Chains A and B, each alone.
Chain A
């Protein structure tokens, strides 16, 4: 088999599929140290020349990310200190050439002469400046705010939102939450709960913690966020309240509605932070990092496959079907339609290598058990209770397929069904737990890898893992389970191949989001300080203002002809009073030739009209309207 031969060749390559210098964690010590250390165990049986950088990281080289790398170059340390060879931390007495007086060396004191220290001072000054700017803006805003007369005629009354109960309310989550609060204030507690539910679900969908679908229940959404008890608790509160209202047919009291809104607020806050910083759930999934999957491409290329990334949805699988599809369910959420399309494709002869829980789409595989979840004591999942740590240690391997390895043993397994082939068993004997199972489905087959870490870049430091991934599709051919051409086309549907869906996502993948967010914040604050407008001004530009003025004049005349003089005066007064204020109006009237007393009476009449547009017409309304036009013309 071509893949088998290639896998044998892999063993002779120093770093295998990680040869590309983009996989820095493999070649340089200290890169992505925290994530790389998760996979250290896999290096034990590998030749010493494989991934020397990661090996040093595992031996205890200090953590070093890109920013630290940059700062290292700016440091005023000695040559040895700038050396790229990262050794394990030395005792404080040995400064390796660093001047202990310089900032940045272990055990040193600050020294303003070093570039690092200067950077810190600049950063500190910036932070202080920012705080001052914020204070100044707040003080300026609150202290100069003047009392503006309330103009009922010009006020846009908010309409009570009609809440439909047969779906999740449409709208941005913040708007929905605002509507929920208004509903609470107005005593519509049921609507408040429904709107809070909508806000919570839509925000969680926006940050991709759940996938909204017409065939999913609220409780399924609650189970989807089971890995984050904080989020799950809040969502459960919202959902429970909504259920009582929607399905219980009982009135909701204010306390319950308030609780639901508070829980929704909590979820929106979490969602806002996640949207801004795009904090990954567990580990950094950078394309070339230890938890990325870019190495799969070079692995399969070296294995003789015709490789491409799958950028289209799974529902188009039938249009240009690959021979083999590698699917990472930790990165790609399967909609029910996707499951059907995927199954159709497999039944028509496709071979699916899937990482994660695929039991929903392929119940034949058996029950998926996540040992980590069980050990954590999370009982609100669909997993059967196993409750024993280390259940999946020491895989026993099939003799014809390379034995994959997971650091610390596989974290998940399938309780396989009776007709499923087991390629890697967790225990000898009749134990049905299997980290990797394979089943023939129709004319094709599924190779399900329960613990998805096998698909990550860092897992390919193990020759056996690379060989397993290459051999597995053809092992089914050898057993007569399915057929595959040689060479086979393979598509990778994983996180690394997935385009960012939003600009924020793209920035996040480039690890630039925090820096960009800070720049934006700083720019916004600076702009506010300097008076740069970020949005249309409150008043339209000159031409628009004149047109609007004409419009109001015509409207006023029409009102006047209809005998609605009060409304005409109120409409014009509503336009000018907020802009001039009472004092400005009096001044304008006096400038138009009105006596001081008369100007005050005139201003009273205009104010009264603005406040009570529905009041009865008065004989001098039209006169006041004319005077008003004259006055504002000054």
Chain B
């Protein structure tokens, strides 16, 4: 494969435009989705990095609201699929339907043909249906009856799962999990946030009519595309790349880990760090950018040893141990 030469890092104007657009998006979504600032930021990072997110949290925490608000603020199309045990792959991708008038099969697109897809409670559908998302998420295309149909660009999947109810669920296979750029954990809001949320409803807020509260598109598709291209050009020093590789590599040597993170995790961490750097107005990545997103990017990408799981070792603990163990480039020598 022919490798391209080094690309020039974005100039100050490009970075300023990126940072400004990112901040406007963050502000716009945070107007409605209260108390989830970190989640909003990480979702945006995943979107710009060209990945998908898996959000784990109990129902009623505003995940749908987040997705809808995000779609509005980005000016993108939005669809939601409620995953159930009887959901079929064709319910997601669509299928060929016989048209009696034309005496031909014609393709009827499923809900996956959208730009922002909310896959609610993804672990309630059987593995076969979950797998229907695989090709779409990784290759951004759907193949049906031998015909490959591209998905719109950008294509962003926000999947949710409930950590509490495990009966009647189908845990996502590792291959599927690895396709999510990040796994985000959402918890209940603190009281002050909940009060603010009630105040918002008392003031007439209706989640069904987001346009009434002034949520408008602050960027367009072209801007999102430009942001994605700008982020990819953010400079990542060789030592930072080595740092990322060491972090991911160390997950494979951790005593509590059975199967460590794949090289796809390294790429994911790199892409996310680039977006974070650009969002903060920098044309270069610093080690802190990598550390900031190590947990959401890595926590779902390794398998714990059975005894570690029994002892209650959390994936985040493993990530924290790894980060505490890998020397930061430019820091104190061991």
Q: List the interface of chain A (C-beta within 8 A of B).
A: 165-168, 212-220, 243-244, 246-249, 336-337, 339-340, 343, 347, 360, 363-364, 369, 384-388, 391, 415, 417, 427, 430-433, 441-442
Contact = CB atoms under 8 A, between A and B. Distances in A.
Contacts of A343: 317
A246 B330 contact: yes
Given A212-B332, A214-B334, A247 B291 contact: no
B282 A215 contact: no
Nearest to B327: A214
A388 B35 CA distance: 13
Contacts of B324: 215, 336-337, 339-340
Nearest to A415: B190
B334 A384 contact: no
Nearest to B329: A166
B258 interface: no
Given A247-B237, A247-B286, A391 B192 contact: yes
Given A212-B332, A339-B324, A218 B288 contact: yes
A219 B288 contact: yes
Given A214-B334, A360-B320, A363-B316, A432 B188 contact: yes
Contact of A433 (B190, B288, B312): B190
Q: How large is the interface on B (under 10, 10 to 19, 20 to 34, 35 or more residues)?
A: 35 or more
Closest 3 CB pairs of A and B: A336-B324, A219-B288, A214-B327
A167 B330 CA distance: 4
Nearest to B191: A431
Interface string B169-194: 00000000000000000011011100
Nearest to A391: B192
B22 interface: no
Centre residue among A248, A343, A369 by max chain B CB count within 10 A:
A248
Contacts of B321: 336, 340
Contacts of B239: 166
A243 B286 contact: yes
A391 to B, nearest CB: 6
Contact of B285 (A247, A415, A432, A442): A247
Contacts of B85: none
Given A247-B284, A248-B282, A249-B237, A427 B191 contact: yes
B165 to A, nearest CB: 13
B286 A213 contact: no
Interface in B275-334: 282-288, 291, 311-312, 314, 316-317, 320-321, 323-334
B332 A217 contact: no
A216 B334 CA distance: 12
Contacts of A244: 284
B333 A214 contact: yes
A383 B146 CA distance: 52
Nearest to B277: A247
Contacts of A441: 312
A168 B192 contact: no
B71 interface: no
Interface in B219-275: 235, 237, 239-240
20 contacts: A168-B331, A168-B332, A214-B331, A215-B323, A216-B332, A218-B288, A218-B331, A219-B288, A249-B9, A336-B325, A337-B324, A363-B316, A384-B35, A385-B35, A385-B37, A417-B187, A432-B188, A433-B191, A441-B312, A442-B311
Given A214-B334, A347-B311, A363 B284 contact: no
Given A215-B326, A249-B237, A432 B190 contact: yes
B309 to A, nearest CB: 13
A215 B250 CA distance: 13
Nearest to B38: A384
Contacts of B326: 215
Contacts of B331: 167-168, 212-218
B332 A213 contact: yes
B92 to A, nearest CB: 31
Nearest to B311: A442
Interface in B95-142: none
A532 to B, nearest CB: 41
Contacts of B191: 391, 427, 431, 433
Contacts of A340: 321, 324
A363 B37 contact: no
Nearest to A214: B327
Given A166-B239, A218-B330, A360-B320, 16 more contacts: A212-B331, A215-B323, A215-B327, A216-B328, A217-B286, A217-B288, A217-B291, A217-B328, A218-B288, A243-B282, A243-B284, A247-B237, A336-B321, A384-B38, A387-B192, A391-B190
A363 B320 contact: yes
A337 B321 CA distance: 9
A213 B235 CA distance: 25
A340 B325 CA distance: 10
B312 A248 contact: no
A214 B188 CA distance: 35
A392 B314 CA distance: 28
